Amino acid sequence: MTPKILIALLAALCACTASAQEPAQLTQKIAGVYKHRFMSATITPGKAPGEADVPYQAEDVIEIVPYDADHVYVRAHLDFYNGHTCDIAGMGRYEQGAFVYHDPAPSPLPEAPPCALRVSVEHGQLTLTDRAAPDAVSSCRAYCGVRGSLEYSIGLDKRRPIRYLDRLKASREYRKAIDDLHATEPQTAP
């Protein structure tokens, strides 16, 4: 084997190893639960906004659980004013520096693009977005109330270990995410 061929083979091996490490590095960086508690309110009918709002404690929760070398389970529950929420869960596949959940079901909203939720790290923040570009339409709108949006960021410093992992893995949402993954990517089935 000539030195040029050997160098080319080593370079290809290093590139493959580096690309295989990328999902693992991102998984290690983001796996856990992120919570943000805040005061929100509901509108009292017949009153002006802010005049007679009923306050309540709200909480945003993002859970990220490693599944295999290329997938993580993502669940997001986000609270918004007047009791509106966004709730979405599924398996995200590593794609170009982020984990992306592609909803296998067609959108129930007419003319809506297929739902794709991107989970990445941007400027020290765990970032969720369902927009292909900043000015694009929200692709997962069906998972949110009128005031809700899956455009969300939370500091990586809010990440905590998931202490209820057994309960989470026994949940209906987690089992459905696995079933959907195996249906759309049969090579992931055991």
| Residue-wise pLDDT tens digits, 41-60 | 887 777 776 666 888 899 99
Task: Quick: pLDDT tens for 130-145.
Answer: 998 888 999 999 999 9
Is the confidence at residue 20, as pLDDT, over 90?
Answer: no
* pLDDT at site 15: 41
Is the confidence at residue 147, as pLDDT, over 90?
Answer: no
Task: Quick: pLDDT tens for 57-83.
Answer: 999 999 999 999 999 999 999 999 888
Q: Name residue, tokens 């995410």.
A: 177
Q: Higher-confidence residue: 20 or 121? A: 121
* pLDDT at site 25: 96
Sequence-distant (6+) residues with CB within 8 A of 125 are 153, 154, 155, 156
Task: Quick: pLDDT tens for 99-123.
Answer: 999 999 988 888 889 999 999 999 9
Is the confidence at residue 34, as pLDDT, over 90?
Answer: yes
Average confidence (pLDDT) over 4-33 = 68
Instruction: Give the lowest-confidence range in 8-12, 73-77, 100-104, 125-129.
Output: 8-12
CA angle 126, 130, 132 (to 5 degrees): 110
Count of the separate structural domains present in the chain: 1
User: What's the domain range around 139?
Assistant: 3-188
Phi-psi region of 120 (alpha: psi -120 to 50; beta: other; left: phi over 0): beta
pTM for this structure?
0.84
